[in-house]
Structure 1
Amino acid sequence: MSSYEDLSREQLIQLLKKRDRTKKLGLVWERDEIEADNAIDANFVAATIIPELSDRPAPWRNMVIEGDNFDALRWLRMTLAGKVKCIYIDPPYNTGNKDWVYNDHYVEKEDRYRHSMWLDFLYQRLRIARDLLSSDGLILVSISDEQRAKLEMLMDEVFPGMRIGTFVWRTKDSSNDADRNLSSVHEHVLAYGNSDFSFLGFELDDAKYRHDDGDGRGKYSLDPITKAHDYTERENTYYPILDPQSGWWYPCNPDSVWRFATKEKVKEGQKLRSQTIEDLISDRRIHFSASDYVIYDTIDDLLSAIDNRVGPVDGNGRQLLRRGLPDLEFWVGKKIGLGRPSKKAYWNEKGATIKPVSSFVLGTKEAKVENFHELVSEKQGKATGIVTELFGKRVFQNPKPVSLLKSLISASVPNDGLILDFFAGSGTTAHAVMELNAEDGGTRRFILVSSTEATSDEPDKNLCQDITAERIRRLNKSEDPKFAELAAEFAYLRCEGIEFEDLDHDLRPAQVWTALEVLHDLPLTHYCAGPWQEHTTDELTLIFADRVNSDLIEHLKEIARERVNAFVYAWAPGQITQQIGQALDVRSVREELIGRFRQ
């Protein structure tokens, strides 16, 4: 394509007109004007296990990663692309009150590019996170009401066609805009999922199916047979119903007519979407609830009852017979049932017994979440109290409630799923996973990513080490009955960047081994210096050959003879294949890791 300098004035005008015609609909921010992250593949990222900061003996199924989450996400994309079932994040809300650090400094409220910096900061991370999700994976993002619209448009761009909806939860009970008499003390959780994702839902409670006629059809509930139209809007479904067993008549509510048609008013050739009321009565699917009736011998008796507000009423006490309604004379001399008919809905005829997840998170004092029939959450103040109790002092502002995360995770992740939080903060996500596993015996795993948040003003600050990971350590050793059953071993990892041209010299064998174990979905182990490292399970054998010698070759030949499902990685794989041929899957460390990193 030629440069702009080569174009004539007319060509430039046509180019500008075309650009004006093709402006995209969506979110625009001043990306060229701000300090952006480096390119995704500007350098290589390695992760090192820090044994003294890890908790409980290896092997470790869970991870806490210290570092800029942009770097951590790049490392995770290399090792876990397409394997994460659920990502939950609570990113900074961009309030301007030093709530986030960008490139080693706090973004100030007066910064003219504050909103664009925030959008670009999230954009860079979300587009990597997208690649981590499994085909049935989900990302959940907490956000304040003030920033929800911008974030949702950004996520529409990063996750096209993946929007599911929004959860709303109440954070506290006070007003935050007294001048306008508004209590907007709620936040949102945006949900975006891949094509195969569906919320698990909850088993429906069959408690309301308490009726049984003993006729072999089983238990049923009583469902209303009215709909929200008045008799002037739906005159064809405004009619009286006769109970053939008792001979009692039931008037239609003039404000909410019947849901089903009557044969008396069906026109010839008219197609119906459901059975008529006569068919339902004949099939004994209508329940008539009246235990008594009233009768009016004359029209004057009926009108007097109407004027004195006595007679048949609906469930809200509103009169069903009123002056001005058509055919009032019909009711003279009829036995009028003092009750309402309902439809029998049989439990064993339900097409599905799974209750959809509600978009509203219920706030309760106790936040009972054991059965997860609803998404429930304590208020944010309760969450702050839990963290303060664990640490003996207030160490983190506004952590999310454990009950909120438990509800969201239980509704979206099977009990063996992998959950990632790359804005881990106080570690609530890990706490929620630990409680869920303790309650149902699940094997859910977590990966938390947290930065140090060190700045020139606080060079020694380390949020990840001193709060995120420390919370899990304290839960692991707590003797408090509330936490005594909680346990989760984890490896503490630290990220570092390496220039691609320096990989052969600076990438350490221990870092390779950690990446390979995660790549093959194995719990992490210590690296022991030697010619090779091996991790064997019932499903596979993983070998990293740092150096090739005759003992390794003989060992590999034995593995080949036993037809073990094995993966062998080496700096120079040709040294192995020359001696064992194609008997095993032998791969190049450099090509495999760099290839995946740059995908």
Structure 2
Amino acid sequence: MVNKMNGESLDITSQNIARLKELFPEILTDGGKIDIDMLKTVLGEVVETEQERYQFTWSGKKKMIEGAQKSSKGTLRPVPEKSKNFDTTENLYIEGDNLEVLKLLQKSYNGKIKMIYIDPPYNTGRDFVYKDNFKDGVQNYLEQTGQVDTDGNLLSTNAESNGRFHTDWLNMMYARLKLSRNLLSDKGVICINIGEEEHEKLKFILNEIYGEKNLLGTIIWKKKTNGNNQGHIPSIHDYIYCYAKKIEMINEKEIGLLPTEEFLTKNYSNPDNDPRGIWTTQDLSANHEGPYFSIENPNTGEIHYPPKGRYWVFNEKEVQRRISEGRIIFGKRGITAPVQKVFYNEKEYKKIKVSSIWSDIALNADATAEISELFEQPKIFSHPKPVGLLKRLLEVFTEENDLILDFFSGSATTAHATIQLNSEDGGSRKFILVQLPETLDEKSEAHKNGYRTICDIGEERIRRAGEKVKVELKEKQQQAGMLDENIVDPDTLDIGFKLLKLDTSNIREWNVEFTNLEEALDLYETPFIDGRSELDIVYEIMLKQGLELTYPIVTFEVNGKMIYDIAFGSLFICLASGIKTDIAKAIIARRDELGTETSSVIFSDASFNSDSEKLNCIEVLKDAGYPEDNLLTI
């Protein structure tokens, strides 16, 4: 028997139930359901049974959580013609409602994101808050963005006169934060930029979703030089809340900035030409209880004890060893109290911690100037974030090969900063950006210059920023006069992006609710929606099978029939009509040639002229070692 492919995104509720069943098998009833009373008993005193308790809640919170956990039947359709370096890039730009997109990414990117950065609506009364409809999220999205007929359900601002002003914003944020947490790796971090309007409420829901213990810190970023006398005490800063998914998985010494040449020159030196490199001195004593003994200066015979109330950090034997190795010295002239010699090259972690106040980097005004210069047009986008701010966050929280997600991407500063940092340190960081295609005001400068949605601006910014960074690298190479190994090769820099758009599923079966589904499908020659390409269907299959959307796709033909090879034989897809055993044999040969250990095959039911031909193909694949669970049809 061949399995039918599931056309929905990850069922988060079922996943949570399965985890509970695995942890506590005794809570299962005869019918396989969960016995809540038994669960309470197992958890003992951990369960809160009092009606009055400390919590943060609001009207509609429970309904919102239930709706956010509903699976999506949508898909992401590739748009190669609007992408840059579609076949080779490992970056994604997704147009769509981020709630639905986050649901769709659950299988492919669960636990794979190192850093999430978002700059969500601040709820000023002028910015837009998403009107979520959990009954049919994709249809709701298409209506709100004017892509299908609607009864006036258009995007709007969240006016303060609205009786649900804070509730609407909280529902919008909670659902998206809860879903996005699943995508973070165990060492992952989320950074959220927020203003005065909702920062207290945001921290409440972050504490609930991530846990108070996982707060890494709050950054106060000075975003402008004055508050234009607005309010009693004009605000000139934003908050950036930084939470770990699992703080115990993060070594605090891994978080920070690599030192600049200026910092090293100021803090390290090598006056004695020590072959171990530049060094600095560090106190040999500490205020916690430890060894207490005298140390004799071998140069002067003077005896030294730890200062009052302090102790040596090493025992007597270790001190003598370090003196003999030149790791403990008595001042530069050899006549003062003993200190440690600490070599920069021997530091396990070379990053320097940052403080919570950031007033030394770019302002909002700098960000406006950056994007205006890039587009050669003023006022192209309101309130962008500066590249310098994002680049510093990336430096603090990411390593060279990490994946970054921004699902309120706006003008795509996160992409610009990622490309910029990669060009400076030779990294291969990759980004996934998600943005609702909000329509631009017809009176805006951007609209006058041909841009119709925020996505148009974001996509164009990535194109322009990538080319600008690449030109700057080439200029550095030319100035160096030769290929300087410290300058990143411009040709190795990934400045592309693969554009995908949220839409309804490509496959009829997953969209309709017929009383007799089999009869309904007989009405169609193919299960696919009219006007959808094979590439659309291939990407939907990758998404629903949990494969990353930047995996390489190679095609090859067998007797005129196209076969898609995903990720070096991890998945083969053939949607051509009239499939026979020659296709199955070609797939087996390809798998063996690539040496792929785990491989799956997916056909369309409509591709077979008869059930016997379908059975023959399946048997050939099974005889070649394909498990039945790895053979699917749609």
What is the TM-score normalised by the length of structure 2? 0.65
Q: Judge conservation of contact 1:220–1:345 (CA < 8 Å) in 2.
A: yes
- In the alignment, which residue of structure 1 is the partner of 2:423? 438
Q: Judge conservation of contact 1:34–1:113 (CA < 8 Å) in 2.
A: no
Letter in 2 for 1:260: R
Change (3 A) 1:439 1:558: same
- In the alignment, which residue of structure 2 is the partner of 1:426? 411
- In the alignment, which residue of structure 2 is the partner of 1:221? 280
- The Cα offsets for residues 424-450 of structure 1, whole Å up to 9 and x where unpaired, read as 100011111111222233322211111
d(CA) in 2 for partners of 1:560, 1:247:
76
- The Cα offsets for residues 521-566 of structure 1, whole Å up to 9 and x where unpaired, read as 34466999984432366x5453112246123123124235547314
Alignment of 1:27-106 (within 5 A): 27-31=56-60, 38-41=67-70, 43-102=72-131, 104-106=155-157
d(CA) in 1 for partners of 2:630, 2:95:
24
Residues 1:495 and 2:495 are matched in the alignment: no
Aligned mate of 1:578, from 619, 622, 626: 619
d(CA) in 2 for partners of 1:387, 1:86:
24
- In the alignment, which residue of structure 2 is the partner of 1:380? 364
- In the alignment, which residue of structure 1 is the partner of 2:168? 117
Change (3 A) 1:342 1:432: same
Deviation at 1:61, TM superposition (A): 2.3
Q: Judge conservation of contact 1:85–1:419 (CA < 8 Å) in 2.
A: yes
- In the alignment, which residue of structure 2 is the partner of 1:352? 348
Residues 1:542 and 2:538 are matched in the alignment: no
SS state of the match for residue 167, structure 1?
Answer: strand
SS state of the match for residue 424, structure 1?
Answer: coil
SS state of the match for residue 174, structure 1?
Answer: coil
Letter in 1 for 2:157: Y
Aligned mate of 1:568, from 601, 605, 615: 601
- In the alignment, which residue of structure 2 is the partner of 1:466? 456
Letter in 1 for 2:501: R
- In the alignment, which residue of structure 1 is the partner of 2:535? 510
d(CA) in 2 for partners of 1:35, 1:82:
23
Q: Judge conservation of contact 2:210–2:244 (CA < 8 Å) in 1.
A: yes
Deviation at 1:109, TM superposition (A): 2.0
d(CA) in 1 for partners of 2:537, 2:74:
11
Q: Judge conservation of contact 2:554–2:565 (CA < 8 Å) in 1.
A: no
Aligned mate of 1:393, from 378, 384, 392: 378
Letter in 2 for 1:190: C
Q: Judge conservation of contact 2:296–2:302 (CA < 8 Å) in 1.
A: yes
d(CA) in 2 for partners of 1:394, 1:99:
20
- In the alignment, which residue of structure 1 is the partner of 2:216? 164
d(CA) in 2 for partners of 1:281, 1:541:
56
Matched pairs, number: 497
SS state of the match for residue 140, structure 1?
Answer: strand
- The Cα offsets for residues 265-318 of structure 1, whole Å up to 9 and x where unpaired, read as xxxxxxx86669xx7999594635799xxxxxxxxxxxxxxxxxxxxxxxxxxx
Q: Judge conservation of contact 2:95–2:455 (CA < 8 Å) in 1.
A: yes
Alignment of 1:175-254 (within 5 A): 175=227, 184-194=236-246, 196-198=249-251, 199=254, 201-202=256-257, 207=265, 208-210=267-269, 220-223=279-282
Change (3 A) 1:389 1:588: farther
Q: Judge conservation of contact 1:557–1:580 (CA < 8 Å) in 2.
A: yes
SS state of the match for residue 105, structure 1?
Answer: coil
Deviation at 1:183, TM superposition (A): 5.5
Q: Judge conservation of contact 1:510–1:527 (CA < 8 Å) in 2.
A: no
Deviation at 1:218, TM superposition (A): 7.7
- In the alignment, which residue of structure 1 is the partner of 2:519? none
* Structure 2, unpaired ranges of 5+: 1-46, 133-154, 475-489, 514-526, 606-613
d(CA) in 2 for partners of 1:98, 1:554:
57
d(CA) in 2 for partners of 1:590, 1:455:
46
Identity score, percent: 24
Q: Judge conservation of contact 1:513–1:527 (CA < 8 Å) in 2.
A: no
d(CA) in 2 for partners of 1:345, 1:479:
41
- The Cα offsets for residues 357-399 of structure 1, whole Å up to 9 and x where unpaired, read as 32436444xxxxxxxxxxxx32221111111112212122221
Deviation at 1:46, TM superposition (A): 0.8
Deviation at 1:144, TM superposition (A): 2.1
Deviation at 1:579, TM superposition (A): 2.5
Deviation at 1:110, TM superposition (A): 2.1
SS state of the match for residue 471, structure 1?
Answer: helix
Q: Judge conservation of contact 2:600–2:631 (CA < 8 Å) in 1.
A: no
Change (3 A) 1:45 1:162: farther
SS state of the match for residue 111, structure 2?
Answer: coil
Q: Judge conservation of contact 2:96–2:501 (CA < 8 Å) in 1.
A: yes
- In the alignment, which residue of structure 1 is the partner of 2:547? 520
Deviation at 1:480, TM superposition (A): 9.3
Letter in 1 for 2:215: R
d(CA) in 2 for partners of 1:483, 1:426:
23
- In the alignment, which residue of structure 2 is the partner of 1:173? 225
Change (3 A) 1:389 1:90: same
- The Cα offsets for residues 152-181 of structure 1, whole Å up to 9 and x where unpaired, read as 221222223543333332212224667756
d(CA) in 2 for partners of 1:390, 1:444:
22
Change (3 A) 1:181 1:217: same
Letter in 2 for 1:155: L
Q: Judge conservation of contact 2:123–2:197 (CA < 8 Å) in 1.
A: no
Q: Judge conservation of contact 1:61–1:524 (CA < 8 Å) in 2.
A: no
- The Cα offsets for residues 62-121 of structure 1, whole Å up to 9 and x where unpaired, read as 221111111111121133222222221111111112254545322112222211211110
RMSD of Structure 2 on Structure 1 (CA): 4.8
Which structure features the higher share of helix residues? 2
Change (3 A) 1:464 1:540: farther
Change (3 A) 1:226 1:197: closer
Change (3 A) 1:585 1:465: farther
Q: Judge conservation of contact 1:220–1:344 (CA < 8 Å) in 2.
A: no
